[in-house]
Amino acid sequence: MRKIFLIAGHNGAGTGASGYLDEGAETIAFRDLLDVELCRLGVIPETDFDRENEKLANIVSWLKGKVELEDLCIDIHFNAASESAHGTEVLVPEAPTTFEKKTAEQICSLICKVLGTNNRGVKTEKQSAHGKLAMLSGFKCQQILVEICFCSNGQDVEKYNRHKAELAKELAKLITHIV
């Protein structure tokens, strides 16, 4: 059976983008909400709970030692740019599997439906602002990186804050269906 790995894209307050919310703190908070909902539905994900204060290299090493080809790693993030940038996007490796692409499309569509954000679509790692992302490179599992919304856009953050509990529930249902 496919295992699910939930990763908070940053490890605490002040470690990610900031704006109308702190990405470092909110990735942990949303990972925890999603974990609770998955457990409630009988899917027990592996998480980086006890690695929140570790460097990215240590989390990557831990993950590489645990994952198998069929497993799914979901890395949770919030985007940031100018205040006018808005919406949801999901990133996949440069040569995504059919499963990664389909799962990314489903997750992106679901987030946009629940939050009412603009669908910026599924993009490859090279299409990201950074061009290369540690959590999408060199793993032997299925990988997606979710940019829930722009923490630099007040309207996106307001939609997220209003609907994050519902989003966690709906994502958990989708993930449960996928596994």
| Percent of the residues in the chain that have a pLDDT greater than 70, as a whole number | 90
Least confident of 67-76, 114-123, 153-162: 67-76
Q: How far apart are CA 57 and CA 61, in angstroms?
A: 6
Mean pLDDT of 97-126: 97
Locus of tokens 């032997």: 140
169 falls in which pLDDT band (50, 70, 90)?
very high
pLDDT surpasses 70 at 66: yes
Nearest 5°: CA angle at 45, between 40 and 48? Answer: 125
Q: How far apart are CA 68 and CA 50, in angstroms?
A: 21
Structural domains of the chain sorted by starting position, each given as residue range(s) with its CATH number in brackets: 4-178 (3.40.630.40)
Upper half-sphere CA count for residue 53 (Cβ side, 13 Å): 1
Who contacts 176 (Cβ-Cβ below 8 Å, separation ≥6)? 38, 41, 42, 43
The answer to whether 104 and 125 have CB atoms below 8 angstroms apart is no
pLDDT surpasses 90 at 79: yes
In the numeric block, which tokens belong to residue 49? Answer: 């709970």
pLDDT surpasses 80 at 133: no
